[in-house]
Structure 1
């Protein structure tokens, strides 16, 4: 049986978290290639890099999603991150430990809402582009965290209690950026549609200096393909 089909050979539904960046767009392409009907989910959470929301919509449409939903949150009301508090500068130098661009509990909040939508859709699969290789030190991108959330999800939902086990898919977990890009290109991903920069302009121009920009640029170098990113002059 194909991974993205049920016992009757029907295509299954999956909720795919998409940020508009390189990783999540690649994950969407992977889920589609596995045969899933993909319902894409983005969050307007008060982030400073709002160009990613437009990128998420563009990339989702280009890769043939069934429905794209944007959920509005106000994580900027609690702040605590350079991505949600305009008074905290986005670092342009590499930093040790967990960086200030970490958004407190972000993936827990996002996955919880994805879990709710999955139940409504009758979907048993959620895809997320977390990565343990180039993950910038974020604690909610580790395999231990994903395993713990999956356990919780199957305890906390009607679907889980009734035996419809939910799976959190993390196909990029052990891949470097170059490998991710090569995999995406093989699946037809147009990376010019994506935005990764933590402080991109409204039109999607990248700063070329933040941690996310550095990882992205290095990834294209590793993959041996031209970088389609539009950088600020």
Structure 2
């Protein structure tokens, strides 16, 4: 695939940055597309931009603020309250986000002759989000190909990895320190290890601790 082009759906967080390094390892030309959907802080977009510039990856921001106009959620409100109603989805779920992001990423990719789309969704650590499931991705892939008469391939390098395994992949790609220090996962807009309290930080930091513990144990044998 080294002679082919790819687009990474990119937020500047741990998962998408790991996917960006994975794409750079596997494709000849890589571009990153970030979406402004009215998220609570612009730091996410600026973090993504800085990473793309540092890695010399062409970077595009698309205006998707219509999502915020249609549906309020914890990621677009002024004060975040993360909760899950009984039998429902977490308040951090943004309806239609991955459906729209990947659809627009495909249109963007087609404009410069790319057929590979990379996204950091995971069914292992997906918090119950329906648009992070493998079945959804496969279904959307077929729909995009039919709708645009193309042969896109959606890649999900993290689909079956928990957070510790995502850290492992970043280490294998030589990007562990980069991902630790320069990404933004925190719901409160704090880079690196974040606030340490929100669910995103807890998942990220516990995964890192688990990976590093396992790595140390393996090295000691």
Which of the five TM-score ranges fits, normalised by the shorter chain? 0.7 to 0.9
What CA distance in whole angstroms lies between the structure 2 residues aligned with 1:49 and 1:219?
24
SS at match of 1:39: strand
Residue 118 in 1 paired to residue 109 in 2? yes
More helix by percentage: 2
Q: Which runs of 5+ in 2 are unaligned?
A: 214-221
What CA distance in whole angstroms lies between the structure 2 residues aligned with 1:118 and 1:48?
27
Relative to the length of structure 2, the TM-score reads 0.87
Contact 1:49 1:83 survives alignment (8 Å): no
1:188 corresponding residue in structure 2: 174
Alpha-carbon displacement from aligned partner over 1:143-173 (angstroms, at most 9, x marks no partner): 0100110000110004x2xxxx110000100
Residue 73 in 1 paired to residue 59 in 2? no
1:221 corresponding residue in structure 2: 209
1:168 corresponding residue in structure 2: 154
Contact 1:207 1:213 survives alignment (8 Å): yes
Contact 1:136 1:211 survives alignment (8 Å): no
**RMSD between aligned residues:** 2.0
How far is 1:78 from its partner?
1.9
What CA distance in whole angstroms lies between the structure 2 residues aligned with 1:36 and 1:27?
15
What CA distance in whole angstroms lies between the structure 2 residues aligned with 1:147 and 1:73?
23
Residue 107 in 1 paired to residue 93 in 2? no
Detail structure 1 runs of 4+ shifted over 4 Å in the superposition: 93-97
What CA distance in whole angstroms lies between the structure 2 residues aligned with 1:104 and 1:86?
18
What CA distance in whole angstroms lies between the structure 1 residues aligned with 2:59 and 2:42?
16
Q: Which runs of 5+ in 1 are unaligned?
A: 6-10, 226-233
Relative to the length of structure 1, the TM-score reads 0.83
Instruction: Give the paired residue count.
Output: 208
Residue 148 in 1 paired to residue 136 in 2? no
Contact 1:181 1:220 survives alignment (8 Å): yes
How far is 1:95 from its partner?
6.9
Deviates more, 1:38-47 or 1:95-104: 95-104
